[in-house]
Structure 1
Amino acid sequence: MGGTVTAVSSNGTYSFTKPNRETITLLDGLGVEGDVHAGVTVKHRFRMRKDPSQPNLRQVHLIHEELFEELRAAGFTVAPGQLGENVTTRGIDLLGLPTGALLRLGDEAVVEITGLRNPCAQIDGFQKGLLKQVAGRGEDGAAVVRSGVMSVVRAGGVVRPGDPVAIELPDGPHRPLRIV
């Protein structure tokens, strides 16, 4: 069970999109080196206003590249990094992973999935109508969020496009992902 890293992105300033890089370096317990969201405590502006001391469960944002193809079929053009993710993958059902799943990215780096990315209105600022494509309600009325997953770094290392991604599921009953 695994996939591939197709792109890596980071940005040292607050911006919705993140430029693609040749490599990114994950720092144990912090996030992406040089990225504005790296740190032990929360770095998301809205969450910092509420409580700046809360732990940063959003150190590394991952999105599956297959989402971009679905969005293209709906008339949107989205490329890696444009939704603010740090790591774009292919071949992994990121949204179907349980909380606590480990992803080994390349030879050294390991991230632990903490939950779903909470999509925000900035997505519509990027492309009008896009928010409804990545967030909504299922037939049963439950929230459906497709804007990627968030994680924390458990082991640092360099990550680059083409790196393999291996999945380790947690022991015991699996907890579904919730918005973090």
Structure 2
Amino acid sequence: MNPHSQELHHFVKQLLEHQAALRAFIVSLMPGSDDAEDVLQNTNVIIWEKMHDFEPGTNFRAWIFAIARNTVKAQFKANKRNQATGVDEELIMAIDAIWNKRNSESTKLKQKALDRCLEKLKATEKELIQVRYSKGTNIEQYAHQIGRSADSLRTTISRVRAKLRDCVQRRLQHEGGAL
């Protein structure tokens, strides 16, 4: 896979991972509106068109939420019926602030739990996770390097991810941070 197609794959993956939250965010900005699905579609089109404006390493979720917020504002301006509901820019900004605060707190709790769970992994599991999630690392090459099949490494990675997911969920429940 060439670097451009890897970037495209990563972009699409992030966009798909955030669709449910993006939909919920738009619906929360447009309570009772029948236009939320149209706004979601328009937002996705704009995100796709502006794909090259996104700077890797920055907050993807914040970027797409800003696009969604602007798309909602444009919809309100274009649709007098929605303006009559009394939803204005101040309310949009207040809802946006709540979403960002909730996301920030949730992310911090999850990251702290993940860091602790990563510490508990065996050295070989940690190395495998680092290899898998490092940019430019090829599982096939690594498998050859350590004398294992790529399929067996993928199976092991899947097991380690499940182990991490379970550990994070337990830590969040134990610390009262389950969201």
TM-score normalised to structure 2 length: 0.25
TM-score normalised to structure 1 length: 0.25
Higher relative contact order (CA 8 A, sep 6+): 1
Higher percent of residues as strand? 1
The structure whose Rg is larger is 2
Higher percent of residues as helix? 2
